[in-house]
Amino acid sequence: MNRQEIYRQIQKEYENERSKNALIDEQNKQELYKRLPEIKETDEQIKQLGLSLIKLAVRHAPKAEIDEVNRRIRQLSQKKAITAKKHGIALPEPVYTCPKCRDTGYIGSKKCSCMEKKLIEKYYAASNLSHMLKYENFSKFNLKCYSDEPYPGEELSPRKNIKAILEDVYSLINSEDKYFNLYFYGSSGLGKTFMCSCIAKYMLDKGSSVIYMTAYSLTSLLEKKRFRPDEAQDTAESADMLFSCDLLIIDDLGTESITSITAAEIFNIINSRLINRKSTVISSNMSTAEIGTIYSDRVRSRILGNYKICYFYGSDIRRT
């Protein structure tokens, strides 16, 4: 599902909410008319004056005529309020699911908080992460899983190293322009995928669109779009989101079946996202030197020149 489709779905939800609330408004109004028929008569007069205003506007009537009609509408509205107060009845207020934006999703040109909430929920669903982010997020990150003992060939202990990576990640994901690129590499079982999930949840909660895919799933999707384009529209939309989403996470790069077509597609995604300043996080068991031998020097140069490289090392934390 691409960004446009997400917005279309949300606008449809707002339309449904407005329709539902309009029915409630109508029921409340009819109930009022039963109790106070004179208010129904006043509302009819206000309605007719409203139609007159439209006609005056169409024929570009003098301002004085328009002002006079508006004065009469205000007068009738005051009469309506006085009638209701006289009988001890409160005039029903319009019903809104979100009174702040009146079920439009916007306050002026700014997204309402209810729109932001809907977007986050949709992005969660589209990210392929909703099932795991309850358990894999920064609040669950435990530095004590990493050894504080010296590690052969490295200046920092695994714990100090992962703490430094965390600090770098926090700094980048909180950058003012929300644009960053990260390359995590190291052996299996060192928390690379967990870190990717943490970043995904953090960005989703900030209202960013996030797509999370293993390299295998990503290349399978691209091959399906390339060789079986008529199978489903969702395939094309999902493939488009690889280029347009705010954050793309590619997990386990190098585990997919690598062909010349696969390598070209990977380069195309990485390069296009760099050109369009779309954030990307890649995790892999491969060092940056190995990338060039498996994919191409073009892929390696893009990562080396534009990504923050983070090396994960230590013992398998899944055994701790």
Q: Are residues 84 and 189 in the same domain?
A: no
110-111 and 181-186 beta bridge pairing: unpaired
Q: Are residues 141 and 205 in the same domain?
A: yes
Residue type, 125: A
Per-residue pLDDT tens over the stretch 17-59: 999 999 999 999 999 999 999 999 999 999 999 999 999 999 8
Report d(CA 187, CA 314) in Å as an integer. 9
Residues of the chain with pLDDT > 90: what percent? 53
118 part of a folded domain:
no
Report d(CA 84, CA 266) in Å as an integer. 69
Q: Are residues 102 and 168 in the same domain?
A: no
Q: Are residues 131 and 89 in the same domain?
A: no
Domain boundary at 72, 107, 142, which?
A: 107
Domain boundary at 107, 141, 174, which?
A: 107
CA distances from residue 147 to 31, 162, 311, 315 in whole angstroms, order as listed: 71, 10, 15, 8
Report d(CA 120, CA 101) in Å as an integer. 18
122 part of a folded domain:
no
The DSSP element (H or E) to which 247 belongs, if any, is strand 247-253
pLDDT of residue 228: 63
Q: Are residues 266 and 171 in the same domain?
A: yes
121 part of a folded domain:
no
Q: Are residues 140 and 8 in the same domain?
A: no
Of residues 265 and 104, more confidently modeled: 104
**Token code pair at residue 78:** 């005051």
Of residues 281 and 257, more confidently modeled: 281
pLDDT of residue 317: 79
Report d(CA 143, CA 62) in Å as an integer. 74
Answer yes or no: is pLDDT of 225 > 90.
Answer: no
> Residue 277 — left, alpha, or beta (φ > 0 → left; ψ -120 to 50 → alpha)?
left
pLDDT of residue 244: 81
Q: Are residues 100 and 235 in the same domain?
A: no
| Total domains in the fold of the chain | 2
Give residue 26's domain range. Answer: 3-107
pLDDT of residue 235: 53
Q: Judging by beta carbons within 10 Å of its beta carbon (0-12, 13-18, 19+), is residue 82 exposed, middle or buried?
A: exposed
Assign 124 a pLDDT band (cuts: 50, 70, 90): low
pLDDT of residue 220: 83
CB 145 within 8 A of CB 191: yes
Q: Are residues 223 and 172 in the same domain?
A: yes
Per-residue pLDDT tens over the stretch 187-221: 988 999 889 989 988 888 887 888 888 888 888 88
Q: Are residues 280 and 172 in the same domain?
A: yes
- Residue-wise burial string across 260-298, b where 16 or more C-beta atoms lie within 10 A, e elsewhere: eebbebbeebbeebbeeebbbbbbbbbebeebbeebbee
Domain boundary at 107, 137, 161, which?
A: 107
Most confidently modeled of 80-89, 159-168, 186-195, 252-261?
159-168
Q: Are residues 133 and 85 in the same domain?
A: no
3-state secondary structure of 167: helix
Q: What is the mean pLDDT of the chain?
A: 87
3-state secondary structure of 177: coil
Report d(CA 204, CA 122) in Å as an integer. 10
247-253 and 279-284 beta bridge pairing: parallel
205 part of a folded domain:
yes
